Structure formats: C-alpha cells, structure tokens
Structure 1
Amino acid sequence: MYFPVAGIEVSPWLPPLVAFGISLFTSMGGISGGFLLLPFQVSCLGFDSPSVSATNHIFNIVAIPSGVYRYIREGRMVWPLTWAVIIGTVPGVLAGAVIRIKYLPDPTTFKRFAALVLLYIGIRLVTDIYRQKSSSGGKPGAGSAMRSDRVTEQRFTLKTISYSYHETNYQVCTAGIVAISLVVGIIGGVYGIGGGAIIAPLFVSYFGLPVYTIAGATLMGTMITSLAGVAFFQALAPLYPSMAIAPDWRLGILFGFGGFAGMYCGARLQRFVPARLIKAILAFAILFTVARYLGLL
C-alpha cells in the first residue's frame, strides 16, 4: 500500500503489527508507545518529514481511549490534575509544532533532538528498574487490597490541586503542574508525542504523587494534546506547500488500531510479566536507538 503523504510504500499489515508489539510492551511498563513508534517510522520506514510528528499524534488519538475509559470506570481519573495538564500541554504542543516546522525540518537535526528525548526516558526507565530492585516493586500489599482504589475528595483551585487516595491526601501546586506541562507540551509537540512518558516520572519523583493515580491524567492529557497537535499541523500545512506537514491519516489510523489492541492486551497480561523485565527490554531498545541517532553505533 502506498501512503502519498509519507511518501512510502508499506504492506498494510505492518503498521498495526508493529504498533501492537510496541504498545503491548510499553503499556505493561506503564508508558505510551508513541515515543518508540516514531523512531520506527523515521529509521525503518524512511518517513522523516515534519508530517511524521503529526502522524504519530494520530496513533495516540486512536490508541489511548481504551485506557482512558478504564481509568474513568475504575474511579482513578484525577480530573483536577487532568485539566491542569491539558491547560499546560495544549499551548505547549502548538509552540512545539511551529518549532518542528521552522527549526527542525532536517531529518539529521531532528534525530539528535529525538535522541535527547529518548535518552531522558531511557535513564528514567533504568532508574525505575534499580528503584524497584530495592523495594517491593510498588504493588499494593494485602492491607491496601482491602481499601478502595477510587480517588476521592478531588479539588481544583488556582493555587492547589488536591485529592485523596487510600486514605492519604495529596496536594500539589497548580502553577507548578501547569508550568511543567507547558515545557513537556513543547517537547511533545516537536517530537510527536503527547508527553505522558516524560511527565509521568516527574509527577511521581518531584511531586510525590502515586503512580496509580497519575496514569489516567497523563493518558487523557496525551490524547487531548495529540488532538490539538494534529489540528495545528493540519492548519499549518497550507502555509508550507513545499513541505509535508499534514499527517498521513491512513498510516496514523493503521498504527492506532494496532496500538489500541496492544494496549488492551498489555493491560490484561501485565500481572503475568515482571515489570522489571519489561522496563529492561524497553530501556535497551531506547538506549540502542539513542546510540544510533547520535552516531555512536
């Protein structure tokens, strides 16, 4: 099948199959698959124009709703945190789209930028592996199993965001969440991801929020941010007729279908696969890609 926007010819079964495999592993590790899907498009398919960032956003739009629905149904969607993330990331991703088109249209320069983003994610994964080795792995114990997993007492003000989970109250600065989300949105807009893989570790490490409560907010933020990113890339396309900027909808939807199925299966298989093993595989794949993009291999 020929994809005219991407300028590539690929068997129609390959994009959903690759997206399924990536999402199967990344969802078990609690991470979005978009950050690994983009290197595949750039390095394996030869799709390296600014349009690849927009196409990667479509993957998020199609693949993520199943995960968001699960968190809403289980009562683990922290809406105040979600809105703060969206307020910050949406303008950020719009700025990121402009930066991608005006300053990083060259594939070589973009690969270096992508390598820096991947390096951060890879280091965070390695850190998580060693942290889990010295702890119980972060899973609720027998006592916590008796408590409700629902998030309660959610509050949003201009100063603070607060909620209760497992009888513990968590409170963070609204401005701090929005500011970090803005920076992550810019990076995500350039790269072509919603930013969940970048922002989730920050919420856990620097704000002290439990990972079981931030996953839904980051997923929803990623989806809304990707919607804005796709719309903005599409709107900018007529202004740059000599460049491929608009997303390749057919390719993005094929990736999204595979990601949708992969996330669903990953959520079902997660309890049977050690989290450290999954993260170790992801870390190796990421750091190998970084080394290739920086010319070290």
Structure 2
Amino acid sequence: MHFPVSGVDVFPLIPPAVAFAVSSVTACAGTSGAFLLLPFMVSVLGFTSPAVSPTNFIYNIVAIPGGLARYIREGRMAWPLTWVIILGTLPGVFAGAWIRICYLSDLKAFKLFVGLVLLYLGIRLLYESAGRYLKTREQTIALEKKFQERMRKIKSKTSTHLAAGIPAEAVVKNRLVSLRKIEYDFWGETFSFNTITIFILALVVGLVGGIYGIGGGTIIAPFCVSILGLPVYTVAGAALAGTFLTSIAGVVFYVVLAFTPLGMHNAFSPDWFLGVLFGFGGFWGTYCGACMQKFLPERLIRGVLGILVTILAASYVIQFLII
C-alpha cells in the first residue's frame, strides 16, 4: 500500500502489528513506544522528511488513551505529577518543534540527535534495574518485597504461574499539593518531590521531546523513577498523560506551520493515515501493557527496556560516525 504524504510503501497490517508489539512492552514503563517507532519509520519505511515527527505525534494521540484509561481505572494516576509535567513540557514542545525544522532537517544530524537521546534513556533504564540502585531506595525495596510476597501467596493458593503483584487496593492517594512540594501515598509508602524541580525539568524535556517527536514524557519517566525515587507504577500513567497532551500541541504546531511561508518549501504536514495505523496497534498495545504492569517487577521492566534502547542508540550513533 502506498502512502502519498510520506512516500512510504508498506503492507497495511505491518504498522499496527509493529506498534502493538512495541507499545505492549513500553507502556509498562510509562512510555508509548514512540521513541522506538520513529527509528522504524526512518530506517525501515524510509520516511525521512521532517513530517515524520508530527506523524509520530499522531501515533501518540491515538495510542495512549488505551493505556491511560487502564491506569485511571485502576487508580494508579498521580494527578498532581501529571499536571506539573504537562505545564512544563507544553512550552518546550513548541520550541523543540521549531528547532527540529530550522536546524535538524538534515537526516544525518537528526540521527545523531536521536541516538544521543536514546543512549541517555538506555543508560538510565539499565542503572535503574541494577541492584546497587535498589539498595539506595528504601521505599523501592519495600515495594519490591511486597510485590514478591503477594505473588508467592497467590501462587501458593491457586497453583498458577501468573499472579498480579500489585493488589487492586493499591491506589494513589494525595497527601500534600503545593507550589513547593507534592506528596502522595501508594501501597503503604509515602513519596514526595519538589514541584519547581519537576517543572523546570519538564520544560527542558519538552524541548527535547518537541525535536524528537515523542512528547517528552518518555524522557521524564526515567528521571522521576531514578532520581526522585518515585515508583514506576505511579509514574507510568502520569508520563503517558503528559505525552498525550503535549503530542496534541505538537501536531497543532506542525499543521499551522505547514501553512506559513516556511511550510511552502518543506514537508511539515503529517501522514495522518500512516499515523493512525500505527496508533491503532498502539492503542491495544498500551492497554495490554498497562494491564501487564501489575504482574511484572519493576527491575524486570527497566532492565528489558534498558537493553533494547541502548542497542538501538548505539546503532544510530555508529551510523552517524560511519556514513
């Protein structure tokens, strides 16, 4: 099947199938999988114009509601964290989209940027899955022990090989929300963070996310878990929500830009049909990923993603150096 906007020729079932496979894994960690689908679009499908970024945003818009609905239904949404991320990343996304168009339209430079962003994500994810990291987080240790103990009890009673380590009653309960500090409870443990710190970080992350076409939540999730010590079970939904809304803003920016004089000489309009196809697979993938999260220990989620992302990052950096 030919997609005239992007110039891509691909069997129509491949985009949703790839998106489902990727997002079902990444949604467990609070990422939509857009940071892995963009390299697939560029390298495998040959979608090399600047329009690949807004097309990736469309994938986020269609895909994320599946996982987001599941996190909201099960009470694993830290809403104060969500809104701080959104307010910080929104202005950064607009600035990042402008930089992508004006200074990173060259594919070689864009591949290096993608590689460096992925390398950061990969190293951070691997660090989070290391035993040394866990030893520095008492609350993380407590959650891990509760998770393993609950799984042992369920398996001993039901003789099943699959058990949910996170109980239905483990929901986010806000304790304090202010401009200086946000504090909440999850499964008997208390977690807190500085509001201003997250806002500034989200602003920078939005800038990077706007360039890359991922919304920013993908990058901020590892920081929230590793630096702030927040549990991935509560960060995932907030990161997805932030990515969803900032992706909407990103698409609007690119569509408006396509009607400006700058858009007369460049391909900025997204490939809507291709983006929706990827998004359809991603919708069910993020839903399944959100369901699977409560069955998986945090170290496993971070470890698998870390290995995958680091390998992908290395390949892009090597391509930049060789080509």
Pair 1:178 & 2:184 matched = no
Q: CA deviation at 1:28?
A: 4.1
For 2:69 and 2:97, locate their aligned partners in 1 and report how far apart those are by CA, in whole Å.
28
What is the rounded CA distance, in whole Å, between the counterparts of 1:167 and 1:277 in structure 2?
22
Residue 113 (str. 1) matches residue 113 (str. 2): yes
Q: How many residues align?
A: 297
Residue 161 of structure 2 is aligned to residue 138 of structure 1: no
CA offset digits 1:67-90 (Å, max 9, x no partner) = 111222222212111111110001
Match of 2:314 among 268, 291, 296: 291
CA distance in 1, matches of 2:174, 2:295: 33
Aligned to 2:234: 213
Cα distance in 2 for partners of 1:64, 1:108 equals 29
Once the two structures are TM-superposed, the CA of residue 102 in structure 1 deviates from its matched residue by 0.5
Equivalence for 1:55? 55
Q: CA deviation at 1:203?
A: 1.0
Gaps of 5+ in 1: none
The change in CA–CA distance for 1:145 and 1:46 in structure 2 (over 3 A counts) is closer
Residue-by-residue CA offset, 1:64-118 (whole Å, 9 max, x unaligned): 1121112222222121111111100011111110000001001100000000001
**TM-score, normalised on structure 1?**
0.90
Contact 1:147 1:166 in 2 (8 A): no
Q: Distance in 1 between matches of 2:312 and 2:174?
A: 43
User: What letter corresponds to residue 273 of structure 2 in structure 1?
Assistant: R
TM-score w.r.t. structure 2 length? 0.83
Q: Which residue of 1 aligns with 2:248?
A: 227
Q: Secondary structure at the match of 2:183?
A: strand
Larger Rg: 2
| 1:126, distance to aligned residue in structure 2 (A) | 1.8
The answer as to 2:273 corresponding to 1:250 is: yes
Conserved? CA contact 1:132–1:276, under 8 Å: no
Q: CA RMSD in A?
A: 2.6
Distance 1:181 1:30, change over 3 A: closer
Tell me the distance in 2 between the aligned counterparts of 1:146 and 1:21: 26
| Pair 1:271–1:178, CA change in 2 (3 A) | closer
Q: Find the counterpart in structure 1 of residue 289 from structure 2.
A: 266
The secondary structure found in structure 2 opposite 1:244 is coil
Which runs of 5 or more residues in structure 2 are unaligned? 136-140, 151-164
Alpha-carbon separation, structure 2, partners of 1:263 and 1:167: 27
Equivalent residue number for residue 16 of structure 1: 16
Residues 79, 154 of structure 1: 8 Å contact kept: no
Q: 2:215 aligns with which of 188, 194, 205?
A: 194
Residue 124 (structure 1) aligns with? 124
